[in-house]
Amino acid sequence: MKKKIMGLIAIVAIAVVAGYNIYTSQSNMRMSALVLANVEALARYELPDVE
C-alpha cells in the first residue's frame, strides 16, 4: 500500500512539473527585434503560386 501511495505522489509531482514547464514556455514566447526583422526580410520576397 505504501508503494502505491509513493508511486501516485511521484506521478502527480511529475505531472505538475511538466504542466508548469509547458505553461512557462508558452507565456515566454517573445521574439527579439532581430528575429522579427529576419522573418520580414524572408517573407518580403515570397511569390504567390502561379498556375
The pLDDT of residue 51: 54
In a domain, 12, yes or no: yes
| Residues of the chain predicted below pLDDT 50 | none
In a domain, 16, yes or no: yes
**44 closest CA partner among 7, 18, 24, 36:** 36
Q: What is the pTM of this model?
A: 0.51
CA distance 39 to 45: 11
CA distance 47 to 40: 14
* Owning domain of residue 28: 2-44
In a domain, 10, yes or no: yes
C-alpha cell at 30: 517573445
In a domain, 49, yes or no: no
The pLDDT of residue 43: 84
* Count of structural domains, the chain: 1
In a domain, 33, yes or no: yes
SS3 11: helix
In a domain, 50, yes or no: no
The pLDDT of residue 49: 60
